[in-house]
């Protein structure tokens, strides 16, 4: 490698990594940085569940490789996985820039390779997705690595190179299965190009792919008898992008409409994940065959959206991230020309056209085949920025080639040739930038997401404001209304919370979480009958819900049904096994039911999860009741270290003093308690202390 090439590679890596670190530093101020939503939230939940590698209750809904990576990062960096996974993304992004340079260099020469590497480093959409907890950076890196490994295998024609390429292809398929369409196209092209001499290398290529994928297929099969090769979401995703009501289905937000659509398969009697996927696939194929002309029009519309400049969101407003990053605001925008794809798209189309004049052999043919097939695979489902990203780096290579040809034309003063190239480029620029993204200020889902995130962060005032704005933009946004009711509840605005919750339930009577919320509202406002009615209905609809069992158990405890309350609280443990208050309240119910040893065990379990004075006081009180005065004093004094003014602890210590005959010490402690506020228990004990002190 020449010295100038080494210098460029080093500079490219440095600039690309510096940009990504800078964006990561700025992105930390975003409310979504440590509170992911939709698919990112699902990935994180599965990773934190610490068991998706083999076990599970159902076949994988989404391809599992990214979940595995995220699980490893969460295990390795339990206190900083939000930063850790993004640093890995940044590293993969830098390596992807280097791979873009290498591929473009092999295809079009050193100068085009350098232009492509710089364009990849400055590509704002790549930068954005590297900051999200999504599989996109892994998809991009593995697909580019696959292309590079195929290029090397084709040139060297060694068995081990084909095996390595197959292993990479298998990993890419476990990240985004649509790469299998390109793999099939590549195998067909290799057979056509090399004919009989292609059988052995292709065998060495395909077998490792199967060996990587089959363990996942076997894992899915052990859970359900129907075959799910990688993930079961392919059918519904295909249906979303191929039906007569495409505009509605492709814009469905997480919520009531999405759940209604998904429920169609179950309501039709399809129980397994594979059967449900096949149900949606059949519906899409039925539309394609019965309405072929309408479908052709839809394909044209999707192709136009694929090549349009704006970054079409799938679940999250991409342009909102600009508000929290100056770097991204410079590299990603949607004004007259959408940057970056509003420029990359037209240039890449011109570059693809120019490349047709060159010989149909690797590496140009390989990049062209990938660009065309992967583009077709995205259009076959539905075009969104997230799904378009794996093909963008290869399109950058063609865009760099077109830009270099324009530069050469100007440099050589070949004005006629340059004009011939510039005219179609100008038309493509106009065409690819006709569409515009939905303005952030009009995006109801964005405001719902902000309300959801601030609800999780317990900023209830801000959550209510964003949820209310989402409802202004879309009055039928059922999930936003529920969140508004929850925010009002935590602000103790019970009447407003009840109003919004009842309206939410009227719009969607199936919502168990809203019935639970109403139960909590009525518990807080001392309306036990209404609370019981809603909690019972919730329990009938979802008898396995730990949340329902928890609040129903609390209601039963308040009503004095301690043993039944303990049963429900015990069932709630499966929902939140690491929750301090659940173990503590279960201990209280068991204690009141007369099961003191079981109660003591729950208090100790709560204490092991979080060292709080409530648990120490409860343990001390049980020891006191059992006559273990020294153990009781030890735990009560430890509770005072955490909360010196805790009245319950002081009352229990006063009781010990009283039992030991230290009447004056007990009286002094109880006076201090009453000086800080009224306490019926402390007052009764103080009266008893005075009576004993005055007794002869």
Any idea how long the chain is?
696
The verdict on residue 528 lying in a domain is no
Helices (H), 49-122: 65-76, 81-108, 110-121
Note every long-range contact of 146-152, with CB atoms under 8 Å and residues 24 or more positions apart, other chains counting. 146/172, 146/179, 147/99, 147/103, 147/366, 147/367, 147/370, 147/394, 148/99, 148/102, 148/103, 150/186, 150/362, 150/366, 151/103, 151/106, 151/362, 151/363, 151/366
The verdict on residue 511 lying in a domain is no
CA distance linking residue 625 with residue 620, whole number of Å: 9
Could you tell me how far CA 113 lies from the centroid of its own chain? 34
pLDDT at residue 515 above 70?
Answer: yes
- Tokens at 547, concatenated: 């949340």
Phi, psi of 29 (to 5 degrees): -85, -10
Around 316, how many Cα atoms within 13 Å sit in the side-chain half-sphere?
Answer: 25
Residues with Cβ within 8 Å of residue 527, at least 6 apart in sequence: none
Predicted pLDDT of residue 112 = 96
Last residue in a domain, options 378, 411, 432: 432
Predicted pLDDT of residue 565 = 93
Residues with Cβ within 8 Å of residue 417, at least 6 apart in sequence: 409
Interstrand relation of 333-334 and 338-339 (parallel, antiparallel or unpaired): antiparallel
For residue 251, the SS3 value is coil
pLDDT digits (tens, 9 = 90+) for 243-262: 999 988 888 877 777 778 88
The verdict on residue 607 lying in a domain is no
Around 282, how many Cα atoms within 13 Å sit in the side-chain half-sphere?
Answer: 10
**Of 458, 36, 453, nearest in space to 467 by CA:** 453
pLDDT digits (tens, 9 = 90+) for 603-613: 999 999 999 99
CA distance linking residue 511 with residue 432, whole number of Å: 42
pLDDT at residue 2 above 80?
Answer: no
CA distance linking residue 695 with residue 677, whole number of Å: 28
Positive or negative torsion for Cα 457, 458, 460, 462: negative
CA distance linking residue 564 with residue 558, whole number of Å: 11
Predicted pLDDT of residue 696 = 56
Around 597, how many Cα atoms within 13 Å sit in the side-chain half-sphere?
Answer: 0
**Of 353, 360, 442, nearest in space to 402 by CA:** 353
Q: Higher confidence at residue 647 or residue 134?
A: 134
* Residue whose structure tokens are 């392919």: 234
pLDDT at residue 539 above 70?
Answer: yes
The verdict on residue 507 lying in a domain is no
Predicted pLDDT of residue 51 = 53
Percentage of the chain with pLDDT > 70? Answer: 97
Note every long-range contact of 498-505, with CB atoms under 8 Å and residues 24 or more positions apart, other chains counting. 504/478
pLDDT digits (tens, 9 = 90+) for 204-227: 999 999 999 999 999 999 888 888
Q: Around Cβ 97, how many Cβ atoms within 10 Å?
A: 30
CA distance linking residue 636 with residue 457, whole number of Å: 33
Which region among 135-139, 296-300, 674-678 has the lowest average model confidence (pLDDT)? 674-678
The verdict on residue 409 lying in a domain is yes
- Tokens at 684, concatenated: 């009764």
pLDDT at residue 131 above 60?
Answer: yes
Q: With bands split at pLDDT 50, 70 and 90, how would you rate the model's confidence at 359?
A: low
The answer to whether the CB of 437 falls within 8 A of the CB of 445 is no
If you average pLDDT over every residue of the chain, what do you get?
91
The whole-number average pLDDT for the span 428-442 is 88
Q: What is the separation, in whole angstroms, between the first and last Cα of the chain?
A: 103
Phi, psi of 338 (to 5 degrees): -75, 120
The verdict on residue 566 lying in a domain is no
* Residue whose structure tokens are 């600009």: 322
CATH of residue 623's domain is: 1.25.40.10
CA distance linking residue 341 with residue 437, whole number of Å: 13
pLDDT at residue 12 above 90?
Answer: yes
CA distance linking residue 488 with residue 524, whole number of Å: 13
Could you write out the DSSP letters of every residue in 77-92?
-TTSHHHHHHHHHHHH
DSSP 318: G
Last residue in a domain, options 432, 457, 489: 432
pLDDT at residue 358 above 70?
Answer: no
The verdict on residue 347 lying in a domain is yes
Residues with Cβ within 8 Å of residue 619, at least 6 apart in sequence: 600, 603, 604, 607, 635
CA triplet 308, 363, 396: central angle to 5 degrees? 25
Q: Higher confidence at residue 211 or residue 667?
A: 211
**Of 350, 342, 397, nearest in space to 111 by CA:** 397
Last residue in a domain, options 383, 401, 432: 432
Could you tell me how far CA 495 lies from the centroid of its own chain? 33
Q: Higher confidence at residue 305 or residue 664?
A: 305
Predicted pLDDT of residue 14 = 96
Q: With bands split at pLDDT 50, 70 and 90, how would you rate the model's confidence at 652?
A: confident
pLDDT digits (tens, 9 = 90+) for 49-82: 755 455 567 899 899 999 999 999 999 999 899 9
The verdict on residue 46 lying in a domain is yes
Predicted pLDDT of residue 50 = 59
Helices (H), 337-363: 341-355
- Tokens at 554, concatenated: 């609390």
Could you tell me how far CA 127 lies from the centroid of its own chain? 18
The whole-number average pLDDT for the span 499-518 is 93
pTM for the model stands at: 0.88
pLDDT digits (tens, 9 = 90+) for 472-483: 999 999 999 999
Tell me the sheet residues that pair with 338: 334
The whole-number average pLDDT for the span 570-593 is 92
CA distance linking residue 77 with residue 675, whole number of Å: 48
Percentage of the chain with pLDDT > 90? Answer: 69
What is the span of the domain harbouring residue 230? 3-432
**Of 473, 425, 421, nearest in space to 447 by CA:** 473
Could you tell me how far CA 488 lies from the centroid of its own chain? 26
pLDDT at residue 486 above 70?
Answer: yes
The answer to whether the CB of 153 falls within 8 A of the CB of 206 is no
The whole-number average pLDDT for the span 530-549 is 92
The answer to whether the CB of 665 falls within 8 A of the CB of 695 is no
CA distance linking residue 251 with residue 533, whole number of Å: 36
The answer to whether the CB of 52 falls within 8 A of the CB of 68 is yes
For residue 248, whether the previous peptide bond is cis, meaning omega lies within 30 degrees of 0, is: no
Looking at the 3D structure of the chain, how many domains does it have?
Answer: 2
Q: Higher confidence at residue 605 or residue 415?
A: 605
**Of 315, 309, 330, 316, nearest in space to 392 by CA:** 309
Q: Around Cβ 625, how many Cβ atoms within 10 Å?
A: 11
pLDDT at residue 694 above 80?
Answer: no
CA triplet 576, 581, 586: central angle to 5 degrees? 85
Q: With bands split at pLDDT 50, 70 and 90, how would you rate the model's confidence at 663?
A: confident
pLDDT digits (tens, 9 = 90+) for 15-48: 999 999 999 999 999 999 999 988 899 899 888 8
């Amino acid at each position: 490698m020449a010295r100038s090439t080494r210098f460029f590679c080093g500079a490219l890596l440095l600039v690309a990594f510096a940009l990504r670190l800078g964006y990561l530093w700025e992105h930390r101020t975003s409310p979504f940085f440590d509170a992911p939503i939709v698919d990112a939230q699902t990935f994180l939940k599965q990773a934190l569940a610490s068991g998706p590698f083999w076990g599970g209750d159902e076949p994988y809904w989404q391809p599992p490789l990214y979940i595995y990576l995220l699980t490893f990062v969460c295990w390795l960096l339990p206190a900083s996985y939000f930063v850790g996974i993004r640093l890995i993304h940044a590293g993969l992004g830098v390596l992807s820039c280097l791979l873009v340079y290498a591929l473009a260099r092999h295809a079009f020469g050193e100068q085009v390779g350098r232009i492509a590497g710089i364009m990849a480093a400055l590509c704002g959409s790549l930068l954005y997705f590297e900051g999200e907890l999504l599989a996109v950076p892994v998809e991009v890196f593995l697909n580019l690595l696959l292309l590079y490994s195929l290029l090397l295998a084709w040139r060297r024609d060694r068995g081990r190179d084909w095996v390595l390429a197959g292993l990479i292809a298998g990993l890419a398929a476990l990240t985004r299965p649509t790469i299998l369409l390109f793999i099939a196209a590549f195998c067909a092209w290799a057979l056509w190009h090399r004919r009989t001499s292609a059988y052995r290398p292709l065998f060495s290529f395909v077998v490792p792919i199967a060996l990587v994928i089959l363990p996942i297929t076997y894992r899915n099969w052990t859970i359900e008898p129907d075959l799910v090769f990688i993930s079961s979401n392919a059918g519904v995703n295909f249906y979303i992008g191929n039906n007569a009501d495409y505009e509605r289905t492709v814009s469905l937000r997480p919520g009531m409409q999405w759940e209604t659509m998904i429920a169609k398969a179950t309501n039709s009697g399809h129980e397994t994940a594979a059967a449900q996927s096949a149900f949606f696939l059949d519906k899409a194929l039925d539309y394609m065959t019965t309405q072929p002309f309408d479908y052709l029009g839809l394909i044209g519309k999707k192709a136009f959206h694929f090549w349009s400049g704006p970054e079409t969101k799938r679940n999250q407003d991409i342009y909102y991230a600009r508000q929290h990053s100056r770097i991204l605001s410079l590299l990603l925008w949607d004004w007259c020309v959408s940057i970056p794809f509003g420029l990359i798209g037209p240039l890449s189309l011109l570059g693809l056209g120019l490349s047709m004049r060159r010989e149909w052999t690797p590496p140009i043919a390989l990049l062209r085949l990938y660009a065309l097939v992967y583009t077709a695979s995205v259009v076959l489902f539905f075009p969104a920025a997230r799904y378009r990203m794996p093909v963008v780096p290869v399109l950058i290579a063609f865009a760099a080639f077109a830009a270099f040809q324009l530069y050469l034309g100007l440099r050589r003063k070949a004005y006629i040739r340059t004009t011939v190239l510039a005219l179609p480029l100008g038309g493509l620029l106009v065409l690819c930038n006709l569409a515009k993204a939905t303005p952030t200020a009009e995006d109801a889902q964005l405001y719902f997401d902000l309300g959801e995130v601030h609800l999780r962060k317990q900023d209830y005032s801000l959550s209510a404001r964003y949820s209310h704005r989402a409802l202004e933009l879309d009055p039928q946004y059922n999930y936003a209304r529920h969140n508004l009711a929850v925010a009002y509840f935590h602000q103790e605005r019970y009447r407003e919370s009840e109003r919004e919750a009842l309206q939410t339930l009227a719009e969607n009577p199936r919502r168990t979480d809203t019935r639970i919320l109403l139960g909590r509202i009525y518990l807080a406002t001392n309306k036990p009958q209404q609370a019981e009615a809603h909690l019972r209905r919730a329990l009938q609809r979802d008898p396995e819900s730990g949340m329902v069992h928890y609040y129903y158990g609390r209601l039963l405890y308040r009503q004095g049904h301690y043993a039944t309350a303990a049963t429900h609280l015990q069932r709630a443990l499966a929902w939140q096994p690491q929750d301090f208050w659940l173990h503590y309240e279960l201990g209280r119910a068991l204690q009141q039911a007369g099961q003191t040893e079981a109660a003591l065990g729950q208090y100790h379990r709560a204490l092991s999860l979080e060292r709080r004075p409530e648990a120490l006081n409860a343990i001390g009180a049980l020891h006191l009741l059992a006559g273990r005065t020294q153990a009781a004093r030890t735990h009560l004094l430890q509770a005072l270290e955490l909360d010196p003014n805790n009245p319950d602890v002081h009352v229990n210590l006063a009781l010990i003093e009283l039992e030991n005959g230290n009447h004056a010490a007990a009286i002094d402690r109880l006076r201090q308690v009453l000086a800080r506020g009224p306490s019926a228990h402390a007052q009764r004990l103080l009266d008893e202390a005075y009576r004993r002190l005055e007794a002869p």
